[in-house]
Every structure is written in structure tokens, then in C-alpha cells.
Chains A and B, each alone.
Chain A
């Protein structure tokens, strides 16, 4: 572990080197072996991350002591003076349990997905490009979770944003992909504007951008300053707004309402990308950021309520849209938006541990689900419309089992990972507000329903394979959407694709073990106890204690503290499990037993269905309220630019040219003595001017 901490710079560097190797050599040298540098780079990083996590887990823990390591790489940007505060964005790592957990998730799942991608992307024209982007992404994501100041965080943040943009637009020949990439980029800019503003405000108020100065305890980091309520004089009023600005960034990246519109469209990217970036890792960056900066947020109840409301609304809103989607990946995309809402609610109700717990389990099962649907897509020649397929279980038996596991985990089927993590959030939400709890519970039910609607539609029932009678239903066309090259895939479930899926499935089943509410072989609330040692959690807990007086047991659990009593609360588990089972049962009835019934029901509630089908017309509202006015403004600016600015710059361009021509033909005529005369005449003129 010490090795990893000492050489923590290797974690982002190795994938970056891999990406460079793949990007520079891929086109000419490596070609179909372009995955190797990424495998090696990401694999090494994953190994380091695992070693780090295990090392930190086995580290002796004393209650109340924070565990962290700081690793300084180099001074990056240093500016300013004592008066205004020194802007010191050092490149360095801050490693605490939260970082370790995030690194393990990012690198571990990232590695699994790079392995999967080899089989999935085989034969694509931009094979090396894909892997180079992937390596770059992992590198940026690790910087994001390791950075010890806001600037590093922002660097990683923008880095993953860039990779996301590049990967969504991977099939850039396809207009939809281009549009989706643009949309993701622009919507994220709105969020990043808020984030950047938040960083500036933070520096303005606290005079630093480091989370923890030389270490927790000293007052040099802005989190400690926030903890002790120290801000630059005269800036206290702005401290209140910092969380709101940062929140905007988090909502953008994590696709919360109303900045959620980009995520469903982002499914235009290759499926492994959807799994890695748009389900498991990047989109959770917003949650990570709020958890990391919890000290700033917890004390601000307005901000917490805002997050809770937005999160809960997004959760239920996206879940309802998912009810009517027929595209596999779109369902999962909306599901992701919804689950991210869960995480935000978790953060907002003082249960960051639950949020991180859900983040981990979600990473497993959502990656599994996406990759499984990728296998489906692979086998059906790029077809994803669940109305066109049915009963694939015979064609894709392994995939069916994996998918089933994923769906069960997502819907919160008892004893699977999603069950534990989701119910913890629902429970914590219910503890804060019954309405909030009820909404989350209902959303859980919806989740179970739409998940199994998908499963029953696709894998169960009478066999119907899209794309005609070709073996395995493989059709040649539609190569643009996922595009396996023309060679025949005789085995739709190759080992290189199944193996990562199997590992993810194991994770989806058993990941809940890490934070069980009771001791069962492992310690109860193990994750909570582990994260409790993170300065971010400990300090947030301290702020919460100061703000709300004594914390309840639930709150303590949520913040990773030792609860006063160790009673397992069975009721929330039962209620949560029940909701999941009801949802599954409903889906079973409507989508396996009697599919006509479902259509009939849909018809009966025609208006609701239309609203849901149209996704609440969010895109249209955006178009009317934002895009069109912006376009009109753009036209105005274009005119201004062309006539006024263009005219001015034309003058700026032309005047020097005229001057140049005049000088060129008058003074640079090539006569040696002409030069001498000019020089001396100027000399004499200068002398005259000086002495007159």
C-alpha cells in the first residue's frame, strides 16, 4: 500500500500512457492490438487501486481517528500573494477511504469494461481511437477522484467531460451521434459554468482551493475553514451560495432535472461506453463531489433541501419515463437518471454512506445491465427495440441469466446488492420526511416494474428474433449503430465478453455484503465504518452535529458514525423488498402472462401514456424556451459580428498591410547606401529632437 501511495501519480499516468500509445501508434503499428496498452495501463491502475483499498481496509483503525494520505506530485499553478490568498493548485493526490473506494470502482469496473470492449468493438474502424479515449477517460476519472484541490477535481471533471463528448460522438458519421455529443457537451457546459463559479467563489471566500491544507486539522484547506466557519472578511454572504453553484455542476454531470436531457441521448455512443461512463463512473462524479465537499453542504439546509427535492423529483420523473421506453438502452439510461436521483436524495438526507453504497452497487449492476444489452445488440445486429424481439433466452442463455441477475439487483430484489443499498436510502429519506420516503418507495416499485417489463419482454415469452432468419439473428446492416464488421460472429457470447459480465454479476449479487446492517461474517455497516475515517465524512458529521444537535442513530449510520444502539431495523427492509416484489409481480402479469392486457391498459390511460411517451416534452420545451431564443440571439450576434466586428477587423487587417506596403517600397529598396542614409538621417533627427 505504501508503494501505491508513494507512487500514486502512476494511477492516472499509466492509463494516460496507454492512451498515448494507443492513440499515437494505434493507427499504424498496433491496429487490432490497440487494446493492449489500455489493458496493461488500466489493469495496472486497477491492481494498484485494489491494493490500496485492501491496504486501507486492513489498516488498524481507531475510532475517531481520520485516515488519509497526501501525496504531492508537483507544484502546478501557484499565484497570488498573502493578501488575497495564495492560489496554490498543487498536482497531488489526497487518498482517504472515499478515494480508495472510488478508485477501486473506477479502475476495477473500468478494467472489466476494457476487457469486454475488445470483443465488442472488434473490427471497428476506429478501434485504436476507442481505446485511446477509454484510457484517457480512466486517467481523467482517477484524477477527478484523487485530486486534493478543486482545480484538480475540475481538471478531471473536464477531462471526463471531454472523453464523454468524444465517445458519444464516436460514430461521428451518424448525425444522431454528432447531435447527441453536442447536446451532452453544451448541457454540461451549463453545469460546469456553475461549478467554475463555485470554485471562484470558494477561492474568494476562503482564499484557497485545497480541500485540506497540509492535512485535516490545520486550517489551510477550505473544508477546514468551512468547518470552523472561517471565511475571508466580508465574504460570508457568498459562502451561502457556494453549494448552489457547485450543485449546478453536479446536476449537470449527474444528469439531474433539468440538466438530464443529455444522458438518454448519450446512448448513441458504443455500449461499453454507456456502461462505463454513462452508468457506472462519470455520471456519479456529481455525487462524489457533493460527498467530498459535504462539509460545505451539510451546514446549508437550503442547499440540502434543494438537492433532496431535485433528486427525488428526478428519480420519480425518470422512472415514469422509463415505463414507456421501448429501447433497451434508453430504459437503462432513464433508470440511471432515476438511480442517480436516489443517490442525491441519499446525500441530501445526511446519508452519504448510503449514497456511496448505492453508487458502488449501482456501478456493478448497471454496468452489467448495459453490457448485457450490448450482448443482445451484438447478437441482434444492432436492434434494441424490445417490441421487435421476444424470448431470446434460447439464443442467449448465458446473457439471460446475467441480465436476470442485473434486473433483480436493480429492482431491489431481497438479498441482492440493490436491495441493501436502495433500502438504506429509502429508510434514511423516510426518517427525514415521510413524503420523501413514500416517493422514493414508490419509485422503487416503478423501478422494479420497468426493469422486469424489459426482462420479460426480451428474454421470456415466444421467441421472436429481429433481423430475419439469419443464424443467431445476425443481420449485416445497421453497422453504424454498433457495427460489428461484416465477418460472421458464430458465437454471440464469446468468453472475453462473458467473463467480465460474470464478474460484474457476482458483484451485483454480493456487493451488498459490504454494508449489511447486521454482522454476517463481515462486520455490520463495514462500509460506513470504513468511510467514517475519511476526513470528508468525519467533518461533515461534525458540522451536522453542530447544526442539528444530537444525531439520531439513522443519521449516524448515514454519516458512517457508530450508532448508539445496534438494533437491526427490519421494517424498512421488509417494506422495500415488498415494493420490489410487487413491481416484479406487476410486470410478470402485464408483460409475460398477458401482454395484450398491458397494451389495453396503456390505451385506457391514453393521455398519460402520451405524456410519458413524449418524455414530458422536455426536449421540446428546451427547444422552444432555450434553443430558439438562443438561435435568434445567435443570428443577431452573427450579424453584429459580420458587419461591425468584421468590418473593424477588416480595417485592422488592411491598415497594417497598407502601412507595410508603404514601408516596403519606400525604405526596403535594397540599396546599401539608401539604408545608410536612412539610418543616419533618423539618427540626426533623433539627436535634433533630443537637443531642441
Chain B
């Protein structure tokens, strides 16, 4: 099939990114103010293009590098949809278009949005990649822009430190992935995933599959994808990076690489299981262990923190763990329909997590920090203290987001966890039932820090003295810059918050809507039957 038809969403995003790069050459504030509009339009266009994409069957280009399946279409749609919210979060609101309250682009507004679009493009490429180089390049395309976004997001040393940590460890993980890919290519002699599956499906006495080398390849690639997911034991960077980056960027990097990594991981295990999920038992056990460790370590680390962004970083690790619970279920269950359930649950949770994430980070963006600095909004519990009384709507949304992240009923997160645990419990597999129990215990532990956020927001602290601090700090903090005052209102961010809050509530309360989203997610499981061919 003609490749152009397959990648209309990607092409839309790329064209917009190119346009934004060109716009970056201009120095007029007007151009900068125009940049997010272009980005948003591109996102909307790409979303429409992706949504009207065909949902069943597999469409491939002539070279076999891309295979658009139901799963690809779903992942593309949710990533572009949530990506549009990231555009809203990063919307520059200062008059010169160089910053909003928590992010500072300096003069590179257009470049920032171009990078965001490219990262989303990378995610789309990962979603439809069908050959090892495409997968690799897709992952890199989803990651490299985020390294730059982290580093450029704030004129603080913190951001650059976060950037260098993220980038260097990312390069390390890329090297691991490449080593794994080289062995995978070596043992099968094929680059295309569907061909690899063919090779692995051949009878054992035919051309061999390299025994342990295949396992080595799978493990190395898996580790690299787990790095993107920030799963234990490759989670170490997450706290530092999320804390250092500007809040809108944190929101983006807690979603984009994660979804890309998860998608790649599902593909990898599908390929390694020769398209029938016939995985080595030890590998299945490994996925189980990593899922448990990831959610536990994430939740446990989140308890003793001072910085809310860091808390959310650890929470995102825990949520990777929940996604991995779905993956563990997927690889453990035997019945195809349960497999479908598990994959649909993962797909649903990705979307739910993205939306909840935007809500909490959006609220953090709108609340001022006690000690103001350019491109710094609320980050610590102190900053949040009593904010709910001053900004009731934001307080309520934050509570909603946190409840959803815990998984309290009447929120999207509840159904996310419900769908995740359902196939695990239904399978009757002891390991999976234990997994479900551990997930619930973890949800209880996570309540410890989420509720702390909510409590902080609604504590009786009146925030006295904030104004005074702000006045004295004003001169030193703002002398360098072009920062907009922290009281500025941001309609796009409010819109993003409202959209995500509405999403959380709607998915949590209106059962038919939840069902519809779940069915959309379940459509992605058609891929399981079709295979990547």
C-alpha cells in the first residue's frame, strides 16, 4: 500500500513541525504567539486523520517498515489527543510569547512546539513500526525531543541537570536496545517483525533461533523499553528528571515515552512469543516480578517526599507498574479473550492515565509558588498549602485527579484499575490473583501520598506572608527576565484542566461512556488476532 496513506497523521505533525522550525527563524513575538496555534491545529488535524483511519486488518507499506493495525490506530489517537492537551498546557501566555507561568521558552517557542510534535510523531511511528530500525528510530524520535524539552524548559540549573541525567541515561538505554536488536537480527536474520515471527514459528529442527541469544536479545530490548516506562530497576532517573523539568514538560515526559515504551514492549513480547505469546516461563515470571517491584517501589518512594512533582514522578513509576500488571496478565493468561481483555485494559489505562496526569499537572501549573522565580509554579507541599481555599475549583480538580489516580470509584482511574484487575482475577491463575492483591495493596499505599496532596491543598493554612515574600523576591527574581507575573490567567491551561477533569468524571460516572472508551480500547485488541501482518 502506498505509504503516504498510512502515515497521514504523522505527516501532518511533521509538516507542522517543519513549519514551526521555519517560524523559529523569526524573532517577532507575534510568531511566537502563533506557534501553539499551529501546533494545536496540527494535533487536531492529525487526530481527525488518525480517528478516521481504518480499524481492522493490517495495512503495510511496500517496504514493510510500517504496519498500521488497530492497536496502532488506537495508540496514535490517544497520543495525539493527549498531546493536544500538552500543547494547551505549554501555551505561552506572556505578551511576548516567550513563557507562561511555569515554562520559559526564551525565544524558542516555535522550536518547543515543533519538538513536542516530533515526540508525538515518534510515538506514532513506534505504534506502527514493523521493523527493528523503524522501532529504534521511532523510540529515539519520541525520546530525543523530550531530552531537549526538559533542558530548555526553564532557565534554571535544575532543568539542565534533569536534562543531562535524562539524556545520558537515555543514551545508555538506547545502546542496550541496539545491542538487543543486533542479537535479535543476528539470530533470525530478519529486520521485519513479521518475518522474525515467521522465523521463530518454524519447527525447532529447522534453522535454529539461537537459543539463549534470542532470550538475551529480548531481555536487552525489554530493559531499554522498561527504561522508557521508568520501571524498576530502570526508574532511578524519573524522580530527578520530573522534578527538574518545567511542569508542562513533566506532564509530557510522564506520558509520551511511557506510552511509546509500553507499546514497544507489547510488540516485543508478541514477537518473542512468535505471535502466539508462547513465552519462556522465566520471562513471564520476570514480567510479573518487575510489575510488582515497579508499583511497590514507586508508591513507597512517593511517601517521603517534599516536592509534589517528585511525588508525581514516583506516582508515574507506580502507574507504569499498573500498566505492567496488565502486561503480566497479558503474558500469563491462556485464553485469547482474556488476553484481549488484558490488552484492552492496558489500552484503556494508558488513556485514563494520560488524562489524569494532565489534570494534576495542570493544577500545579496554575498555582503560584511561595517563593516566586521565573518559570516556577507550585511544586512543594508548602506551595500547595491552603491553595484549595484560595482557588476552590483548582482544589476540587486536584482532589478529583488524585482520587482518580488512587482509583476511587466514580473516576476514570477506578475503571482503569477495575479493567486491569478483572482478567487477572478471572484467569484463576494463582500468580495473577496475587498480582491483583498486591495491586490493591499498592493502591492503598498510594493513597498515602495522594491524599497528602489533597490535604495540603485544603489545609487551613492561610498562606499568610506569601505576598510579602513575593514582593521582596520580585526584584531579584525578575531582573534577568522577561517572566510574566505569576498572577496571569491562562485560559488554555484552564481549558486543558477542564477537559481532563470532565474526562475523568465522565469516564467515571457515565457508565456508557466508559464502556464506549473501553470498547474503543478493545478494538485495539483486534491486533492480537490479526498479527502484525
Contact = CB atoms under 8 A, between A and B. Distances in A.
Contacts of A661: 304
Given A656-B448, A687-B219, A675 B304 contact: no
Interface string A237-274: 00000000000000000000000000000000000000
Contacts of B176: 683
Residue among A76, A679, A691 having the largest count of chain B Cβ atoms under 10 Å = A679
Contact of B301 (A74, A663, A674, A680): A663
A173 B239 CA distance: 49
A564 interface: no
B301 A690 contact: no
B323 interface: no
Nearest to A76: B511
A687 B179 CA distance: 14
Interface string B156-184: 00000000110011001100100000000
Interface string A663-684: 1100110101011101110110
Rank and list the top 9 A-B pairs by shortest CB-CB distance, nearest first.
Answer: A682-B233, A675-B236, A660-B300, A660-B303, A659-B300, A656-B300, A660-B304, A656-B445, A75-B512
25 contacts: A75-B512, A76-B511, A652-B444, A653-B448, A659-B300, A660-B303, A663-B297, A663-B300, A668-B236, A668-B240, A668-B301, A672-B164, A672-B168, A676-B169, A678-B236, A679-B172, A679-B227, A680-B172, A683-B220, A683-B233, A683-B234, A686-B219, A686-B233, A686-B286, A690-B286
Given A660-B304, A672-B164, 4 more contacts: A653-B448, A656-B448, A668-B236, A675-B236
A475 B445 CA distance: 58
Nearest to B222: A686
A75 B234 CA distance: 44
A664 B444 CA distance: 20
A377 B214 CA distance: 88
Nearest to B172: A676
Nearest to A90: B512
A76 B512 CA distance: 6
A670 B220 CA distance: 25
B430 interface: no
B303 A657 contact: yes
A678 B299 CA distance: 19
A680 B303 CA distance: 26
Given A78-B515, A652-B444, A656-B448, A691 B212 contact: yes
A675 B300 contact: no
B452 to A, nearest CB: 12
A77 interface: yes
Interface of B: 164-165, 168-169, 172-173, 176, 212, 215-216, 219-220, 223, 227, 233-234, 236-237, 239-240, 282-283, 286, 297, 299-304, 444-445, 448, 511-512, 515
A435 B263 CA distance: 77
A682 B164 contact: no
Residue among A76, A653, A656, A689 having the largest count of chain B Cβ atoms under 10 Å = A656
A687 B282 CA distance: 11
Contacts of A689: 286
A92 to B, nearest CB: 13
B444 A678 contact: no
Contact of B511 (A77, A660, A672, A691): A77
Contacts of A678: 233, 236
B304 to A, nearest CB: 5
A198 B304 CA distance: 48
A619 B165 CA distance: 71
A506 to B, nearest CB: 43
A682 to B, nearest CB: 3
A675 B167 CA distance: 12
Contact of A682 (B173, B234, B239, B282): B234
A668 B220 CA distance: 23
Contact of B299 (A77, A656, A672, A686): A656
A622 B172 CA distance: 73
Nearest to A79: B511
B239 A668 contact: yes
Residue among B215, B216, B227, B240 having the largest count of chain A Cβ atoms under 10 Å = B240
A544 B237 CA distance: 75
Contacts of B223: 683, 686
Contacts of B448: 653, 656-657
Given A656-B445, A661-B304, A75 B165 contact: no
Contacts of A679: 169, 172-173, 227, 233-234, 236
Nearest to A663: B301
B169 A664 contact: no
Contacts of B300: 656-657, 659-660, 663
B444 A676 contact: no
B216 A687 contact: yes
Nearest to B166: A672
A571 B297 CA distance: 84
Given A661-B304, A679-B233, A690 B282 contact: yes
Contacts of A77: 511
B302 A660 contact: yes
Nearest to B512: A75
Contacts of A690: 215, 219, 282-283, 286
Contacts of B215: 690-691
Contacts of A674: 236
B333 to A, nearest CB: 18
A166 B220 CA distance: 61
Interface string A75-112: 11110000000000000000000000000000000000
Contact of B168 (A657, A663, A676, A683): A676
Contacts of A683: 176, 220, 223, 233-234
A683 B173 CA distance: 11
A675 B283 CA distance: 24
